Structure 1
Amino acid sequence: MRPTEADAEDLRWWLLDQSDRHGYAMVEVAGDEHGAPYVFSVGAWRRFRVPEAVVIGLPDGMGRMLIDAYVRRARAGERFMPGRVVDDFFDGAPVIVERVARGHYPEFFGSALLVYPAGDFPAVQLIVATPEGAWPWQPDAPVGFADWQPVLTHSGDPESWTPGVDGP
């Protein structure tokens, strides 16, 4: 079922209100037979000039925690460079940042386009390794991990660094 123009305008105002009140809005999309669940921010760029962020495929509640920690820390001045591993978001599960290709914006930041109609915002993906330290692109990653946590670059592989050379 497609939203009406009135629904879209109500959502736009809700996103703006959340951004004004809390610094950003958080949008959660449930997983289904076509893909994993994901969570993304809307308003971090508008309020703090930090890229919007998306997290795909984490268990219930963990994506929210990661987006919240990212925006809170970025708002305080910390910058998360693509290719840099961040070990202190979760105990025992490293996170790495990758730029999101704009071609993925409609699918993974759809409602953000109500706030940024021209798609003129930067976005990053926060990719989480397994507790054993495997990343989705590594051959020793669990079967289906790359499908559950796809990398949102043009190629579908890390592009801001070379795995095993200057990144994990």
Structure 2
Amino acid sequence: MFDRLICQCPICAAYDEELDELDLDTVRRVERDGWAVIMVPEDEDGPGWAFTVGLWHTFRSPEAAMFGLDVEVMRRCLNTLADRVAAGHLMVDGQERDDVIRNYPVVTRAVDPSWYRSLFGVALRLYRRPPLSFMEVVWPDRAGLFPWDADATPRLRDLQPSLWLPRDDHPPGPWTKLP
């Protein structure tokens, strides 16, 4: 995969700093597998989410994030997507993909950087600086409609933020309440 002793990227260089156990575990998983999936479970404040760390480091691909499903389901979906990225099937903004969730397409959307600090702190700590980017992996309702479709299930919009919009332009909801 890569040799952290000769690599000078921010993730590898982070070994030289004091890291908490979560960060150390993440770096080890990136070193072993090429990426890690960070899971933030649902709580009283809102839906859960999950995101990758390491896709940029290992494959120069945007990181991926999913929202609103069970965190274990999102972990499996993101690992499936990361396997596809590792095989050369990179993510593109606005791309519909049928290789993430069985029997349902997803759409990848570029995340506006105004969301990074609220949602992807572990990645920011380890990378320490861009050029990393994130793609939101948006899933449809049971009818195959996405949050932006007029007839989509209204709850779908609460479960998944529209991160392609700048944070200040996003409709109020659980995602805009995050610090």
Superposition TM-score tier, normalisation by shorter sequence: 0.7 to 0.9
Aligned to 1:145: 156
Quote the offset at 1:151 in angstroms. 1.4
Aligned to 1:38: 49
CA distance in 2, matches of 1:131, 1:23: 32
Normalising by structure 1, what TM-score? Answer: 0.82
Decide which moves more: 48-57 or 28-37: 28-37
Identify which of 115, 121, 124 aligns with 1:104: 115
SS at match of 1:98: strand
Quote the offset at 1:156 in angstroms. 4.1
CA distance in 2, matches of 1:113, 1:89: 25
Quote the offset at 1:72 in angstroms. 0.8
Quote the offset at 1:94 in angstroms. 1.2
SS at match of 1:144: helix
* 1:92 corresponds to 2:103: yes
CA distance in 2, matches of 1:132, 1:61: 23
Q: Percent identity?
A: 30
Normalising by structure 2, what TM-score? Answer: 0.78
* 1:115 corresponds to 2:144: no
* C-alpha contact 2:52 2:78 (8 A) present in aligned 1: yes
Query: Deviation per CA, 1:107-147, whole angstroms, max 9, x where unpaired?
Result: 22111112111243111010001121111122211122111
Q: What does 1:64-79 correspond to in 2, within 5 Å?
A: 64-79=75-90
Query: Deviation per CA, 1:56-100, whole angstroms, max 9, x where unpaired?
Result: 011342201111011111111112211121123223221000001
SS at match of 2:121: coil
* Residue identity opposite 1:136 in structure 2: P
> Unaligned regions of 5+ residues in structure 1, if any?
158-168
* Residue identity opposite 1:151 in structure 2: S
* 1:18 corresponds to 2:18: no
CA RMSD of aligned residues (A): 1.9
SS at match of 1:61: helix
> Unaligned regions of 5+ residues in structure 2, if any?
1-16, 172-179
CA distance in 2, matches of 1:75, 1:141: 32
Deviation >4 Å, runs of 4+: none
* C-alpha contact 1:95 1:129 (8 A) present in aligned 2: yes
Decide which moves more: 41-50 or 55-64: 55-64
Q: Which has the higher contact order (CA 8 A, sep 6+)?
A: 1
Change in CA separation of 1:81 and 1:94 when aligned onto 2, cut-off 3 Å: same
CA distance in 2, matches of 1:52, 1:88: 17
Aligned residues: 152
Decide which moves more: 85-94 or 61-70: 85-94
